[in-house]
Chains A and B, each alone.
Chain A
Amino acid sequence: MNFLKLRVLIVFAYSTFAAAEPASESVITDDSEPKSIAISVEDLKRQVIQLNRDLFILEEDLLFPANTQFAVYLSLDTGKFLRLDSTKLKVDDEIVAAHLYTERQIKALQRGGMQRLHLGNLKTGEHEVTVFVEGIGPNNRPYKHAASLMIDKGTDVKALEVRIRDESSTYQPSVDIVEWD
């Protein structure tokens, strides 16, 4: 009979003296082991990021040398007049990229992020770049818009930005392709 009381007290010792922490900041019992692992994991992460960076650069140098490199980025304004759904990119009548957007990606774009829509190679000379944007426009109507630009590809990297903006004067979204120096 005494046993039960003894056990109960042990259980009580657990619950009574457990400090209250809001949410996931649960009670901590031992802090020496995880710290050492955490530091080594942190160190590994640093090394992997470094390697990742070097390999990304190598990949770019190998697959997309500077003299032929051609990149297209996409940016979105506040998106008041357009709920972006998908984009398609054509270079000289050939579709080189197409993308369907998730809610998370749209939010990332609305907050100032820029999506690299396409990275490829292009010969020197004149090319026509066309982008098709689809989504839901003002008054919940399906919105489709295309924008084109003739570009002259030299021997340097060519970067374009597909800029989707809200035109407050027309209450419509606008799509432009802008060249970056």
Chain B
Amino acid sequence: MRIPRQFLCLFFVFSLPASADDEAVPERAQDLNYGTVLYEYYQGHAFEALTALKVATHKGGIKGHGDHPALVEGGLMLSYGMTRDAKAIFESLLEESNSQQVPTAISVSPSSRNQAWFYLGKVLYLEQDYLAALESLAKVDSVLLRTDAPALFQEWLYLKGQISQHRGQNLSALAEQIELLPEGNLWRAYLRYNQAVSVADKHPEMTISQLQSLSQSLGNTLDKENSDFEERRALREQCLLTLGQLQLQLTQYTHAIEAFKQIRLDSVFSDQALFAYSIAASNMKQYGLALQALNTLKARSLFTPWLQQVPYALAYVYEQLKQPELALDAYRAAASHYHQVSEQLEFDHQTLTEQKIMRALKLDDAAPLQLGIEPIANDAYGHLKVEPLDFNIAGLLSSEVFQLGLRDLHELYKLKFSLARWERQLDSFSLMLETRGQLRDQRIEETVAAIESQQAEHWVDQQKDYLAQITQAKRDEDMAFFASKQQLEFKTQIQSVFDALERFPEGEEKNAFIQKIRRIKAYYDWWVADQYGVNLWQAEKQLIGLTHATEEFNARHVKLKQQIQSNQQNALLASRVNEGRERLKRLSLELDRRLDDARLQLVQQVRNDLAMQRGEIQQYLLASRKAQARLSDLLYVQHNQVKRVTPDSPTEAKSRETEVEQ
């Protein structure tokens, strides 16, 4: 009867948009990295979400969400089983925000803060760290929790009551929590039950009275319409079973039978109730009723180890019914059964491995259990939802110690698989860097060849030459040097006219032409002089552009040379890959060690349990054989007495002797 309802809240409480002023909080993620963290977080991928959160922190943190990412981190750690880290985060964050009392700085609502303390306390309680759990629960603002989350408030009272009981404190502390819970509340019923059971050793009558009152109260509040109907009914039946068993111990057989009768035949407690009923009936000499109960049990599979008592008890009842032949057969069958079970347990004990334990478990959907594989369902506290296939492990599986061991083993396998993935990735990174290096070398060769073919050095020299010429012409104010293309063409034309006139015959006409061309030349000179400033500016502009281009080329060239000489970036990446590989190796070794420890611990738990079961079975085997011998003797004596009256045939006598020997 698992009740996941209280666990479901764990993820949700930390995901609320927590702020001092909830109205002002944006609904959307204000940071892409935070959005991806939430995406993993809401899917229950705590490991991936924590990694994403760490990556985001490394890249400069999450912006626009105040301290809420830290609260989410705490919640993630809590659900990922990193309780101590979560506690440290909550303590620094929540206490700090509590002391600041500045709403704008905290961005964690008092409600979320309160619930964070509650869940931390609850996880610590489940881990049996009662002192730390109490510390966290003490930080919960009870008034706020009562108005904000009444269901959590009731559970908070329950947890406090349980802790006070576990720590062996004065029972008045427990009574105080019970009083604070409303009448008819299920948490109150649990606490009342535990309160009653805790005094059973010293004051059994008081326990009986309390259990009677509790079972009656639970019976009165049973309502099929209520969601907690099943749970309430189961608790009532557990209450009745305990009550009956206690009455049985105190030899109040009639009352015990009355209590057992109220437990349904299809209840989870019906096996125990039927067996206890048969004991009570047997003690009241009502062997028929006892036999009926035991036969009902016999028809069921002997799934739980304690039900191994049934074969012996059946034979015992036959004996009490004065049916020695039937009893002898039953004792013989019981001995054979115990012998077989004992052999099996011994074999299991000797050959127990982790794989055998896993084969004895199955998942909710009947699939075989393979630890470390993602689809295994678990609750918010990491407990795996598995069922036993082998009855020898059923009792152990229900214990928190085994559950925690299984959870840890599963988590360790997950980590191992994650590391194995990185190992493969790092191999491919190395290959990639190697290939990248080769490509780089090839590109460098190509670039060097291209630079050489373009005679880049020659152009740089030419640029220097131009610079020198221009500087000189500027100093000399050599206007012709800076003449434009058009002006140069005109100059050529004028010169060609002068040349042509040289060949002309002397005379008036020639003189007129010379006069004319001289005027043109004078105009041209004036024009060039007038344009000198403009032409100089044009030339300088071109030169500046060329200088810049040359400088850029030089800079690139230098950089290229540096790149050719050193491979710093790739080397840095390669060193990071190598460093990662080293860390991975160290962690893998550590992980293997932890896996061995966890595996050994789990196997040892099962081995101890099997040894304990075998010890019990051995006692039943011994008792069955003794009873078998005793009855055989008895029957033999009785037979001999009859024989004296009517002698037996030799064959019959021989067969009886063989039977006794057996």
Contact between chains at B39 and A41 (CB < 8 Å): no
A-B contact count (CB 8 A): 243
Among A16, A17, A161, the one with the most B-chain Cβ atoms within 10 Å of its Cβ is A16
Proximity string of chain A (23-64) to chain B, C-beta cutoff 8 Å, 1 when within and 0 when not: 111111111011101111110111111111111111101110
Contact between chains at A23 and B128 (CB < 8 Å): no
Contact between chains at A112 and B35 (CB < 8 Å): yes
Given contacts A7-B619, A23-B2, A44-B415, contact A51 B584 (CB under 8 A): yes
The residue of chain B having its C-beta at the shortest distance from the C-beta of A56 within the complex is B55
Task: Write out the residue numbers on chain A whose beta carbons fall within 8 Å of the beta carbon of B27.
Answer: 112
Given contacts A12-B249, A44-B591, contact A111 B84 (CB under 8 A): no
Q: Is B496 an interface residue (CB 8 A)?
A: no
Task: Write out the residue numbers on chain A whose beta carbons fall within 8 Å of the beta carbon of B577.
Answer: 58, 62
Contact between chains at A53 and B38 (CB < 8 Å): no
Tell me which of B403-411, B451-459, B527-535, B544-552 binds A: B403-411
Tell me which of A88-96, A101-109, A135-143, A148-156 binds B: A101-109
Proximity string of chain B (62-84) to chain A, C-beta cutoff 8 Å, 1 when within and 0 when not: 00000000000000000011111
Task: Write out the residue numbers on chain A whose beta carbons fall within 8 Å of the beta carbon of B206.
Answer: none
Contact between chains at A20 and B408 (CB < 8 Å): no
A49 to B193, CA, bound (A): 43
Task: Write out the residue numbers on chain A whose beta carbons fall within 8 Å of the beta carbon of B411.
Answer: 41, 45
Chain B residues numbered 85-134 whose CB sits less than 8 Å from any CB in chain A: 85, 126-129
Interface size class of B (residues with CB under 8 A): 35 or more
Residue total for A at the interface (Cβ-Cβ under 8 A): 71
Contact between chains at B29 and A20 (CB < 8 Å): no
Contact between chains at A115 and B36 (CB < 8 Å): yes
A35 to B128, CA, bound (A): 9
Contact between chains at B316 and A1 (CB < 8 Å): yes
Contact between chains at A42 and B85 (CB < 8 Å): yes
Q: Separation in Å of the A45 CB from the closest CB of chain B?
A: 6
Task: Write out the residue numbers on chain B whose beta carbons fall within 8 Å of the beta carbon of A100.
Answer: none
Tell me which of B135-143, B235-243, B461-469, B636-644 binds A: B235-243
Q: Is B1 an interface residue (CB 8 A)?
A: yes
Q: Separation in Å of the B330 CB from the closest CB of chain A?
A: 13
Partner of A15, one of B29, B41, B42, B245: B245
Chain B residues numbered 266-296 whose CB sits less than 8 Å from any CB in chain A: 272, 275-276, 279
Chain A residues numbered 132-181 whose CB sits less than 8 Å from any CB in chain B: 159, 161, 180
Listed A/B pairs (21) with beta-carbon separation below 8 Å: A8-B248, A15-B245, A17-B197, A19-B198, A28-B400, A33-B401, A34-B601, A37-B594, A38-B127, A42-B81, A44-B587, A48-B591, A50-B54, A55-B580, A55-B584, A57-B59, A62-B429, A63-B432, A113-B36, A116-B39, A180-B32
* In the A-B complex, the 6 residue pairs with the closest CB atoms: A114-B35, A113-B39, A108-B42, A23-B3, A53-B54, A31-B128
